[in-house]
Each structure stands twice: as structure tokens, then as C-alpha cells.
Structure 1
């Protein structure tokens, strides 16, 4: 696929994800960690304007001088930014103006690609597209979180559940003790946190071919899993107690039956569907209850070619740390991954909300252990 085609398809897909929305859906932000659709539409556009057009196009006329401040996320290099927790208060510019902004930037990027065939431009466009694909997933999961606050359980789109998958295999995969290569190798796009291919020693281990199901987790709940502190890390137990956690996110017990909010509305829990919307704390406690553990990210990567993945982001028992010889790039691009290498855990794989072609086995996703609004799941190891 040409870089131009990648750009056009990526930009069109973001707009397509917003097609089912009503104008009222674009703005609310009930929690600090999730952003409204209007902001995702704007920020992904800001990236192309700020990182490419302002840098490579002489006398480029920015669309709106306020947008650099409003739609910067965390790039200190690029100046001041709106407060993250207040993105939902930004009612102006309007949604109409945001779409005009996207079209304006798209025209200029397409024109630049016709005039400039440099490797630098190509790499920046590909990075921008992968950045936008990340925001496509966030747009959907953030929107679901916002919708979940609505007591009438709104439907985003019929047939767009994203959490109704079943396992295709069962049993355990055995991996022999040895020294293995970890990290990205070869051609193709990858993020800087995947670089630094290196060797790790692994002891013999087994890893499940299947992910934990709703039925499995219901058994944990019914056995008092949320009531026994010995199953939990101290920080996780504090999180459970302080937030009165009794079930996975979006689960609701209605007249004695467990339901889950989905993007198709409220649905009865299907026991054989793969569990989702689970925190690292819950994943670790469940694994302990089962007499197992979570795999490290290195075990996961070594075994990934031998089991199916892609339905859930899978928590690992690896802190998000730099690989050997990791280097932070110069400029704003260098703020993309490295500065978040603290207080977060690695997730591997991808999910049903991940853009096609965005997944690979060396991909290192990362979130704080308490978060569960992403489409996360559990794979056991021992």
C-alpha cells in the first residue's frame, strides 16, 4: 500500500467510526482518563499539522492558531496545552469546524505527498497514521465508557459488540528453557519501545492456549475472590476496598442475573465468551486464585506464534521498562513512549477494537494497573 493510500484510508476510518454518533455524543468527558470523540478527531489532525505541515511546508498557514493549544496532548516540546481533565468542556470549536479542520489538513498532506517523496516525510506520515490508529481504538473505548454512564444503555451500532468472542483452542502450551531473542526485527513500521532486540533467558514454562472466560471469572467471584485479601497485591486490595469493586467493569447484576454493557446495549453475560474489561489487579488476583500466574511479556512474545491472539489486550506481569540500548528520539517525537516508562504494566497482543494491520507480536501496550476500560483480558501461565 502506498503512503498516500495508507493516509487516506486511516483518515477515512476515523470518520467512519464517528458516523453512528449524534452531535451530543461528541463532547462529554465523564472521567479524566478518557477523551471525547471531538478531541480524538482534532488531536489526530493536530499531529499531522504540527509534526509535518508546520515543519516541512514553507509558509504553511495554520488552520486556527488556537488549535495548537487546544489539541496538544502531552508534548511539552510543543508548548502549552489545555488541561486534560477539561477536554469535555471545550464546546467550541464546533464539531463542524473540527471536520473542516480535518479536510483542510488532509488536502495539504495529500498535496505535500505529491510534491515531496523524501524518506523523512514517508516515515512521519506512517508514524502519524499509526498514531491515529491508536486513537481510533481509544475513541471507541472512551465512547463506550461515556455511554456506560447513561442509565438507558445507549446503542452505538447494532452488530458492533466487540466483546462476544469465544476461545478457539484449549489446553497448555509447553515452552522449553532457553535463551530467546526479544524485540522487533526486520522491515516495517514499529514503535521505538520495540527496539533494542536482545536476548533473555527463560525457564521452562507453560502458557494457556485460551483466554479466561466469563464462566471462569464468575467462579472466582462466587468463591469470594473480591473478599480474600490474600489473593491480591497490597495496592490492588486497596484499590478494591477504596472503590468497592465487586465485578469487572460494565457488569451489572439485575434481578439475580449478570449483564454487561456493550456497544450494542445491555446484554446478558454469556459464560463461554472471553472475559474483558479487567484490570491488572483483577488479572493477578484471578491467576493467584487459580494457582497460576500471568506470563511475562517475554514469555508471551516467545510463545505467541503458537496460540491465537488478537481478541483482547492481555495483561503481562512485566513492568513497562526500556529495552537495552533504548534511545529517546530528538524533538517532540521523542515524547511518544519513553517518558511513560514508570508505574505501568505491559499488555501484549491486540483487541477487537485495534485497527487492521496495527497489531504485531512485538507491540508493547502499557497502562496503569487500575485501568480496565480498554478491551483487556487474561491469559494464564505457570
Structure 2
């Protein structure tokens, strides 16, 4: 289990074929340290087994590219679409999400064989212009599932009382002879902790060349009042102060639904906290007080902001500050993190904090996940990708340490339900000016 993950071949950002091969290799590298049992675990209904993720993205390529664009293509196994369709009603009946962990068959080896067959057949489509947009969508889709695989297997391993490690702990930004993690900058040594914005009419949504999901557009104008956004993410040490001050016991700080959730679930700390430790892909580790807090819900983020005398930013405020500042990297495989975490030997995703807007934790906003003006979903089954989820969820911005490099941008809209916290979710405070 705790062996180094083989480094995948890294292709330069460029052709669709190069990026396809690199993305697929990253998925397979994440499977490498997992046993068959590890890859089959489903620890809660919000999560899926690792081998299901590996199969689902392959179903996506087979269904929307090979089946529909390659004359005479025959499915690798005609019974598998029922198992690995996620939520596409247009593609027919499917296995209930909560039962994905019951799939002892097909085996991981059979799924890998299927992936190899699909990869070989996909080579014939890369030079066909009519397939380019769907291939771009497929790449972004697999990158999303790479992050989900990482967060889902973390929860599965956490659920084991032994606290097993997926990888040994390493900090790739530190040379081995230096021997330790670089000291984080103390909040007391930081100056100019707020980024101010004068407000006004801002144009938001996807406006550049290149790929974007349909929910990032159309670009449109919004009115923003003067505000300030914190330069840094809320840290573990600050969250510990919130706990010590009774933050989880003061109903006045919480939204009504959030307070009911805290009481019902007995919530008293972020997910994966235990004493002075937290659970990571490298097992239980001492918690860095200056690292960004992670694995919190929207309810917790909003309560902390109230306790701190601040608020959460809107998605448009966050985007207005972030536009042009995306430092999440290029399209090569690896994880997005300000401190340099990536799949290089064995480097577990860990938020470390470096004052950047992108790449440590997804940041909650107080914006409901709703369609932009004039939004229209795409025709056909792929139109179910985002639009039908635009109710009851909240927008997050900024990517996390588990996000594939190059996957995020200022207009990117991630979204989760307010109770969910198994993803690398944190917060950055805002205030009125």
C-alpha cells in the first residue's frame, strides 16, 4: 500500500492526442498503489470506488466518442454501460449510485484492459475536427474524476481504523537533503492582508479562448459594490481558535439548516481532524497550524465568517479579483498546488498555503449555483453535464491541491451541497468596504 506511485509519462501541453495520453496515464498512476479491495471500496453514498471512476470515464469516451463517431464500433462489453453510466437519463437505466461499491466484478484488471482497448481505438479520432470539442470535454471530465478519485479514496482509507497510507509523506518542493518541510509564514508576519476592489460593472464568465464548461457562460455583466478579499486562506490555527471559542456550540453563528446539521451529526471539527492530527493520503499526520483549513462544509465556512466579523465572497467578487491570476499551471498531468504538489514519485495532495488564489483548497462563495443569463444546455445527453444540477448547491472557486494542473481558471464554477466536506474545501474571507 505505502509504496511510491510510478511517475506517469509527462507530455507537453499541445495536441489533443498528447493531452489525452497524459491524462489517461495520470488516472492509471493513481490506481497503481491500490489493491483490488481498495479500488472497490465505497465508504459513503457521496463517494464512488476508485475502479468505478476509472471505468466511468472510459464509458464516457466509448459512449460519446467511439460509439457515436466511429462507424461499426462494437462496445467492449455491452453489459457494462448499465454499471458505469453516472446520471445520464438519455443513456437509459443505470446502477444506483449507492450500490457502486457492490461491484466486485468486473475486476480492476478487466477495467484496465478495457481502458487500453478504448485508448488504442481513440487514436483514430484525434485528427477529426468534428470530434475536437467532445474530446476537450472528455479530457476535462476525466480530470474532474481524477480529483474525485483522490478525495474518495482518502475517505475510504480514513474509514479504516488502521488509517492506512496510500503514499509515504513527501514534500516535493524540498530537496531530500534539506530533510524537512519549509517553515510557513506566520500570519503575524504578513502585511497588507486584504485585496480591495472599488466595485462597479464587471464582466464575468468565460471570455478567453480555450475550453470552458457550459456553466461558465455566457459572459455577462454584474454590479459589484466595493469590497475586500483576504489575501490568504483561513488556517488550521485560526480554525482551532474558532473551536476553542465555542464556535460549534453558538447557534447565533449558524444558518438554521447548518445548526440543525451540527446538532444532528455531532459536528465539532473539520472532517479528518483528530486531536493535533489530521488524516491524509499518507495516513495520520501532525496538523500544520499555518496550512489552510480543509474539508469543511458551506455551513461551517459561513459560521466561521460570522465569527470572524466578515463574510464569504460572492462568486463574482472572487472572479473579479482572480481574473488573470490563475497560477494552477499548464495542462501536463499532476496536481495543482501553490507549494508544488504533483504526482512525481509519491507526493500526496496537501494544502500548504502560499498566498495565491488558486491551487490549495476550493473556496466557498455565498453564491447559489444557478444558471447565468441566457444559459442554454447543449443538445443531447452531454447537455445533462451541468445544467440539471443548478438547484440547492453553492459555488466554489479556485481549485485545490488535488486538482489536475491547468484544469481551473477564474471563470470555473465548482459546486457542492452545503453539507458536503469530503472534498478539499476551505474558505477565504471577504468584507464590505
Q: What's the TM-score bracket when you normalise by the shorter of the two chains?
A: over 0.9
1:346 is aligned, of 395, 408, 414, to: 395
Aligned to 2:430: 381
The reply to whether residue 276 of structure 1 matches residue 289 of structure 2 is: no
The reply to whether residue 6 of structure 1 matches residue 23 of structure 2 is: no
1:370 is aligned, of 419, 428, 432, to: 419
What is the number of equivalent residue pairs in this alignment?
Answer: 374
1:241 is aligned, of 243, 263, 270, to: 263
How far residue 161 of structure 1 moved from its aligned partner, in angstroms, is 8.0
TM-score by length of 2: 0.84
1:1-382 equivalent positions in 2, closer than 5 A: 1-113=14-126, 117-159=127-169, 171-253=193-275, 258-305=276-323, 308-309=356-357, 310-382=359-431
Mapped contact 2:394–2:417 kept (Cα < 8 A): yes
For residues 172-218 of structure 1, give each alpha carbon's deviation from its aligned partner in whole angstroms, at most 9, with x where no partner exists: 11110211110001210000001111111111111100000001000
How far residue 339 of structure 1 moved from its aligned partner, in angstroms, is 0.2
For residues 83-119 of structure 1, give each alpha carbon's deviation from its aligned partner in whole angstroms, at most 9, with x where no partner exists: 1000000111111110011001111101333xxx333
Mapped contact 1:167–1:274 kept (Cα < 8 A): no
Paired with 2:218 and 2:136, the residues of 1 have a C-alpha distance of 21
Paired with 2:263 and 2:209, the residues of 1 have a C-alpha distance of 47
Deviation larger for 12-21 or 242-251: 12-21
Mapped contact 2:206–2:212 kept (Cα < 8 A): yes
How far residue 264 of structure 1 moved from its aligned partner, in angstroms, is 1.0
Mapped contact 1:161–1:264 kept (Cα < 8 A): no
Paired with 2:111 and 2:105, the residues of 1 have a C-alpha distance of 9
TM-score by length of 1: 0.95
After superposition, the Cα gap between the structure-2 partners of 1:76 and 1:212, relative to the gap in structure 1 and judged at 3 Å, is same
Q: Secondary structure at the match of 1:126?
A: helix
After superposition, the Cα gap between the structure-2 partners of 1:85 and 1:178, relative to the gap in structure 1 and judged at 3 Å, is same
Paired with 1:79 and 1:160, the residues of 2 have a C-alpha distance of 44
After superposition, the Cα gap between the structure-2 partners of 1:161 and 1:92, relative to the gap in structure 1 and judged at 3 Å, is farther
For residues 299-327 of structure 1, give each alpha carbon's deviation from its aligned partner in whole angstroms, at most 9, with x where no partner exists: 00001146612211000000000111100
Mapped contact 2:254–2:303 kept (Cα < 8 A): yes
After superposition, the Cα gap between the structure-2 partners of 1:167 and 1:376, relative to the gap in structure 1 and judged at 3 Å, is farther
Q: Secondary structure at the match of 2:248?
A: coil
After superposition, the Cα gap between the structure-2 partners of 1:280 and 1:161, relative to the gap in structure 1 and judged at 3 Å, is farther
How far residue 22 of structure 1 moved from its aligned partner, in angstroms, is 1.8
How far residue 226 of structure 1 moved from its aligned partner, in angstroms, is 0.3
How far residue 57 of structure 1 moved from its aligned partner, in angstroms, is 0.9
Instruction: Structure 1: state its 5+ residue gaps.
Output: none
Q: Secondary structure at the match of 1:351?
A: coil
Mapped contact 1:320–1:344 kept (Cα < 8 A): yes
For residues 337-363 of structure 1, give each alpha carbon's deviation from its aligned partner in whole angstroms, at most 9, with x where no partner exists: 000000000000100100011111110
Q: Hey, which bits of structure 1, 4+ residues long, moved more than 6 A?
A: none
Paired with 2:207 and 2:171, the residues of 1 have a C-alpha distance of 34
Paired with 2:125 and 2:283, the residues of 1 have a C-alpha distance of 43
For residues 224-261 of structure 1, give each alpha carbon's deviation from its aligned partner in whole angstroms, at most 9, with x where no partner exists: 000000000000000000000000000012xxxx2101
Paired with 1:111 and 1:329, the residues of 2 have a C-alpha distance of 25
CA RMSD of aligned residues (A): 1.6
Q: Secondary structure at the match of 2:379?
A: coil
Mapped contact 1:14–1:136 kept (Cα < 8 A): yes
Paired with 1:161 and 1:296, the residues of 2 have a C-alpha distance of 33
Paired with 2:204 and 2:251, the residues of 1 have a C-alpha distance of 35
Paired with 2:288 and 2:105, the residues of 1 have a C-alpha distance of 42
Mapped contact 1:161–1:262 kept (Cα < 8 A): no
How far residue 120 of structure 1 moved from its aligned partner, in angstroms, is 2.3
Paired with 1:72 and 1:161, the residues of 2 have a C-alpha distance of 37
Q: Secondary structure at the match of 1:112?
A: coil
